[in-house]
Homo-oligomer: A and B are copies of this chain.
Amino acid sequence: MTSECTPRFLASDNTSGICPEAMAYLLEANQVDDLAYGNDHWTERAANRFRQMFDYDCEVFFVFNGTAANSLALSAMGRSYHSVICHELAHIETDECGGPEFFSNGAKLLTSPGANGKLTPEGIEALVTRRSDIHYPKPKVVSLTQATEVGTVYTREELLAIRAIADKHDLRLHMDGARFANACASLNATPAELTWQVGVDALCFSGTKNGLAMGEAILFFNRELAEDFSYRCKQAGQLASKMRYISAPWLGLLESGAWLTNAQHANAMAQYLTQGLQALPGVSLMFPAQANSVFVELPAHAISALKAKGWTFYTFIGAGGARFVCAWNTTVELLDLLIADVKIALEQHSG
């Protein structure tokens, strides 16, 4: 039975494995030796495929994980005495143990609140205009997460409005695309429409959450920011010697279209879960479920009961909140099981 052999993991899309399309390319890349440090053919093909898919001659780099992708990109977009504007729930602020500050050698993050985990032009402007003295680190970059940390997405109109305020104050625009594919799927938009066409300077596109074992792509649409960036990656311990084991699986995702179908599946599962949970009395959605995450408020006893049954999920967003994340391989069976257990948990206590 599914309930016996499948781990009850909905904590993150990090618990899922390598999808078949990526694995096929990984295995193929393993057939023959190839040159090191990205001089292999897989890496070149993958970079070109990104350029084709984004319809833009961007600079493409591969690094190991998201901490590094975001931190290195931000370091290239400002200096140590600059500041980065981000949402107060941004992953770079809350979950990187000071990674952006470390890689940038001291750049401060200035945080802004905002409904549904989204930065607003007003929030950005408030931080920029608050002070102009030398004791305040000069704002240089806006970093936004697409899809956001609470499972919502920025529309094209919202992105354009942020770009306008960035232009007004000479700020660069960084996109943390930990779930970029889910945003494309959610908005039914092309990668180009959500990035350079709305003025994004650099995108960190996650492969790990999309079906790879590890590996993120950094795409610079503002090519000047990529000057000597390969040296930066090398120095910072992010140049894979056998880089084909990152780039070949990426190519698998891109050529097969799995980058999008994986995201579409995960989003669909989140929708399925949302509907199932909303049908239960006593469950309320915390944020609109627009990508692959579902945030619901649950009574404390229900959370405890679910954890006792082996369900893993995060409860870090406030008291009584639970986050369930769907991945490329999440099944309806698992979600049905979860919904049933939530129902039981809610009834038991009130009974």
Q: A237 near B68 (CB under 8 angstroms)?
A: yes
B135 contacts A97, C-beta separation under 8 Å? yes
Contact between A34 and B18, CB atoms less than 8 A apart: no
Residue of B nearest to A227 (CB): B79
* A116 on interface, CB distance cutoff 8 Å: no
Q: Is the CB of A36 within 8 A of B65?
A: no
Cβ proximity bits A17-32 to B, threshold 8 Å, 1 near / 0 not = 1100001001001111
| Contact A134:B102 (CB < 8 A) given known A33-B9, A312-B35 | no
Chain B CB within 8 A of A278 CB? no
Is A7 touching B23 in the complex (CB atoms < 8 A)? no
Q: Report how many residues on chain A are interfacial, defined by Cβ distance under 8 Å.
A: 75
CB closest residue in chain B, given A29:
B17
Give min CB distance, A91 to chain B, whole Å.
9
User: Is A304 in contact with chain B by the CB < 8 A criterion?
Assistant: no
B242, A208: Cβ atoms closer than 8 Å? yes
B135 touches A33 (CB 8 A): no
Contact check, B7 vs A33: say whether CB atoms are below 8 A apart.
yes
Contact (Cβ within 8 A) A102 B235: yes
CB within 8 Å for A101 and B101 given contacts A15-B33, A35-B9: yes
A83 surroundings in chain B (CB, below 8 A): 98
Q: Are B241 and A98 in contact (CB under 8 A)?
A: no
Indicate whether A256 reaches chain B with its CB closer than 8 angstroms: no
> Given A137-B235, A213-B242, A214-B245: A107 and B98 within 8 A (CB)?
yes
In the complex, A192 has a CB within 8 A of chain B: no
Q: Which of A25-71 contact B (CB under 8 A)?
A: 26, 29-37, 63-68, 71
| A172 interfacial contact with B, CB 8 Å | no
A230 part of interface (Cβ distance < 8 Å): yes
- Give A228-287 interface residues, CB cut-off 8 Å to B: 228, 230-232, 234-242, 245-246
A6: chain B residues within 8 A (beta carbon): 32-33
A157 CB–B CB distance under 8 Å: no
Given contacts A15-B33, A68-B238, A81-B98, 18 further A-B contacts (CB under 8 A): A9-B33, A9-B34, A11-B35, A16-B33, A17-B29, A17-B242, A26-B213, A35-B312, A64-B64, A64-B238, A83-B98, A95-B136, A97-B234, A99-B237, A102-B105, A106-B106, A106-B235, A134-B230
21 pairs of residues in contact across A and B, judged by CB atoms under 8 Å: A6-B33, A9-B33, A14-B37, A63-B237, A66-B241, A68-B238, A72-B237, A80-B232, A81-B228, A81-B231, A94-B135, A97-B135, A97-B231, A99-B236, A101-B108, A102-B106, A102-B236, A103-B106, A134-B230, A137-B231, A138-B228
